[in-house]
């Protein structure tokens, strides 16, 4: 069984949900595990007979009994050898990042790693990020950490060091983009 290519973040209130609270711990974990094997219609993409591979509890529970618990509180619907998860939006936030965003994020992380010299003061760098966080809280708007000399640019290649970082409002940083002006 292969997981589907989208992400679902488990919401903080999930384990305290009244429906899951009525189930055993094993049934709760099974419900969360089944989430990894659903399609866009929240139908589990594996026959019920294969659910045992999802359960790694010792001693191994009766999967049909756990599914019965979930069905009793209307968390799943069983039809033949397939199951459909119900109330998914109460437990998970569905995110499907675009391919471009994923590639951009990976490139950005790689650039930041390669631009961090061994002699960089990581405590000072963390201080700049902490300043941005504090400014966000103080002013009620997002603040970003900006590289004054961009990490990736046609003309220059800046370093990820505290001397090249400054906390600025997000609106200013986003409008600046990746521009660099030679003085």
pLDDT in tens, 46-105: 666 666 555 555 556 677 787 888 888 888 887 777 777 777 666 666 555 555 656 767
Contact by Cβ (8 Å): 143, 135: yes
- Supply φ then ψ for residue 27, to 5 degrees: -65, -40
**Is the same domain home to 12 and 91?**
yes
**Would you say residue 52 lies in a domain?**
yes
pTM for the full model? 0.43
**Would you say residue 83 lies in a domain?**
yes
**Is the same domain home to 89 and 126?**
no
**Would you say residue 100 lies in a domain?**
no
Would you state the structure tokens that stand for residue 161, as one six-digit string?
A: 């060091």
**Is the same domain home to 90 and 155?**
no
What integer pLDDT is reported at residue 4 of this predicted model? Answer: 41
Among 95, 124, 152, the domain-final residue is 95
Q: Tell me how many domains the chain contains.
A: 2
CA distances from 43 to 13, 144, 167 (A): 23, 40, 45
Q: What is the C-alpha separation between 131 and 168, in angstroms, rounded?
A: 10
The rounded radius of gyration (Å) of the Cα atoms in the chain is 24
**Would you say residue 90 lies in a domain?**
yes
CA-CA-CA-CA torsion for 144, 145, 147, 150, nearest 10 degrees?
A: -40
**Would you say residue 64 lies in a domain?**
yes
Full residue range of the structural domain in which residue 136 is found = 109-176
**Would you say residue 181 lies in a domain?**
no
- Parallel, antiparallel, or unpaired: how do β-strands 143-147 and 92-95 relate? unpaired
User: 59: cis peptide before it, omega within 30°?
Assistant: yes
**Would you say residue 57 lies in a domain?**
yes
Would you state the structure tokens that stand for residue 163, as one six-digit string?
A: 């001397």
As a whole number, mean pLDDT of residues 26-35 equals 76
Q: What is the C-alpha separation between 89 and 4, in angstroms, rounded?
A: 17
**Is the same domain home to 91 and 23?**
yes
Confidence band for 3, pLDDT divided at 50, 70 and 90 = very low
Contact by Cβ (8 Å): 167, 143: yes
**Is the same domain home to 84 and 21?**
yes
Which range among 93-97, 100-104, 106-110, 142-146 shows the weakest confidence by mean pLDDT? 93-97
Among 95, 127, 154, the domain-final residue is 95
**Would you say residue 46 lies in a domain?**
yes
**Is the same domain home to 116 and 83?**
no
Please compute, for residue 165, the number of CA atoms within 13 A of its CA located in the half-sphere on the CB side: 24
**Is the same domain home to 167 and 145?**
yes
**Is the same domain home to 72 and 131?**
no
Determine the distance from the C-alpha atom of residue 148 to the mean position of all C-alpha atoms in its chain, rounded to a whole number.
Answer: 29
Q: What is the pLDDT of residues 63-79, one digit of tens each?
A: 778 788 888 888 888 77
């Amino acid at each position: 069984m292969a997981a589907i290519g989208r992400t679902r973040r488990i919401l903080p209130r999930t384990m305290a949900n009244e429906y899951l609270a009525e189930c055993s711990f094993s049934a709760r974990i099974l419900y969360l595990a089944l989430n990894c094997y659903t399609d866009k219609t929240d139908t589990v993409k594996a026959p019920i007979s294969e659910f045992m591979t999802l359960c790694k509890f010792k001693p191994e529970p009766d999967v049909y009994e756990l599914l019965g618990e979930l069905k009793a509180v209307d968390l799943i619907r069983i039809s033949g050898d397939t199951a459909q998860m119900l109330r998914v939006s109460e437990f998970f936030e569905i995110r499907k990042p675009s391919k471009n965003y994923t590639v951009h994020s990976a490139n950005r992380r790689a650039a930041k790693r390669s631009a961090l010299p061994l002699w960089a003061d990581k405590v000072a760098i963390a201080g700049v990020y902490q300043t941005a966080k504090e400014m966000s809280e103080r002013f009620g708007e997002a603040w970003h950490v900006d590289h004054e000399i961009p990490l990736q640019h046609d003309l220059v290649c800046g370093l990820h060091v505290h001397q090249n970082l400054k906390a600025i409002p997000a609106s200013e940083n986003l409008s600046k983009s990746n521009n660099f002006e030679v003085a």
